[in-house]
Structure 1
Amino acid sequence: MATRDTLIEATSELLWERGYSGTSPAMIQKRAHAGQGSMYHHFSGKADLATAAMAHSADLLCQTAEATLSTGGTAIERVIAYLDMERDPMAGCRIGRLVQDADIVDDDTLRRPAAEFFAWLVERITQVFAEGLDRGELRPDVDPRAAASLVVASVQGAYVLARALGDPAGFEAAMQAAKQAVRALAIR
């Protein structure tokens, strides 16, 4: 793996584990087995590298979500499959955890990969619900964008709940409730 890619991967992992404020350039260099010169050869600084790492993490999450949402089946089945994706509730979302960091939220450049990821995810799930609505699978009063926002918020909130309680059961309970809410959108 090229040094640039190693730096991005190491930063991605550290951001997930420690957040932006808790990750130093020295930690990144140590994790990547790269020197300071290598880091600054490829990136102008920590923020530039963090932005690239967040974009990398978002891309991986998009690929995984797309693979699940593109499977066959009804809109409800596809969204339930998304909700059932394997996740580590105690680790939290690679992107969602970062937008709780004031340094990221206050910086448009740092926040952009997270904003783009969540906008893409809401839009993609909206498309799935809209397809279901067009095929007559969903109640005619369903608002695809509102339903998609509920799904995304449920997953992110479930991570927060599990981490706050120190128990993955909080995540599982929230996912069961989210699946129940999604099933209720179907025409009976």
Structure 2
Amino acid sequence: MDTAERLIESTRELLWERGYVGTSPRAIQQRAGVGQGSMYHHFGGKPDLALAAIRRTAEELRARAEAQLGAPGPAVGRITAYLRRERDVLRGCPVGRLTQDPDVMANPTLRRPVEETFDWLRTRIAEVLAQGRAAGELADPLDPVATAATVVAVLQGGYVLARAADSAEPFGQAVDGVLGLLAAHATTTTTSSTTG
């Protein structure tokens, strides 16, 4: 891993652990094992480095989500795979946690990749739900856009509940609940084929 990559990865970890204010240039340099000159050779300063780290985290989140959402199979099955994939629940979502960082949210440049990621996620889940509805897997009254927003809100809220309880159990309950709501919109054909 070259110096720039080490700096980006170290900043990503520190942002997740400490937030923007707690991620000092010195902490980044120490974690990356580089000197001050190396950091400023590659990046104009902490904001530039934080932006690169946030963009990288956002790209990784999208790629991991697309692995399940873009897979073959029924819509609810793909969303189930996405929601149930292995996560470090008690650490929270690395992108979602940035929304709780006032310094990131106050900076339009740093906030943009966070906003774009959640826009993308809601849109992508809505597309999957619309595909399921078009294929007759989900009943017509289901609103893909509103339901996608609900899925993302439940996922992010599940992280918050888990962290507050210091247990992954509330996260699992939240996922079970939203999947139960989706199952209630599944057509009879889909329900019988998935249970049989």
Aligned residues: 188
Q: Residues 80 and 182 of structure 1 are in contact (CA less than 8 Å); yes or no, is this contact kept in structure 2?
A: no
1:130 matches 2:130: yes
In the alignment, the residues of structure 1 paired with residue 37 and residue 28 of structure 2 have an alpha-carbon distance, to the nearest angstrom, of: 13
> Is 1:63 matched up with 2:63?
yes
Q: Percent identity?
A: 52
Secondary structure of the 2:91 match is coil
- What is the TM-score of this pair, normalised by structure 1? 0.97
Q: Cα RMSD over matched residues?
A: 1.0
Which residue is 1:86 aligned to?
A: 86
Structure 1, unaligned runs of 5 or more: none
Give the Cα separation in 2 of the matches to 1:116 and 1:36: 31
Structure 1 equivalent of residue 194 of structure 2: none
Distance between the aligned counterparts of 2:68 and 2:126, measured in 1? 14
Larger radius of gyration: 2
User: What displacement does 1:45 show?
Assistant: 1.2
* Per-residue deviation, residues 144-176 of structure 1 (Å, max 9, x unmatched): 111111111111000000111222111111111
Query: Is residue 53 from structure 1 mapped to residue 53 from structure 2 by the alignment?
Result: yes
**2:27 match:** 27
Q: Distance in 1 between matches of 2:141 and 2:125?
A: 17
Partners of 2:140 and 2:104 lie apart in 1 by 39
Corresponding position of 1:169: 169
> CA-to-partner distance for each residue in 1:27-55, whole Å, 9 max, x for gaps?
00001111111111111111111111011
TM-score (structure 2 length as normaliser): 0.93
Deviation sequence 1:114-140 (CA, Å, 0-9, x none): 111111111111110111111111111
Tell me which protein shows more helix as a share of its residues: 2
> 1 or 2 for the larger relative contact order (CA 8 Å, sep ≥6)?
1
**Separation in structure 1 between the aligned mates of residue 143 and residue 41 of structure 2, nearest angstrom:** 48
Which runs of at least 4 in structure 1 moved beyond 4 Å after TM superposition?
Answer: none
The CA distance in 1 between the partners of 2:11 and 2:182, in whole Å, is 35
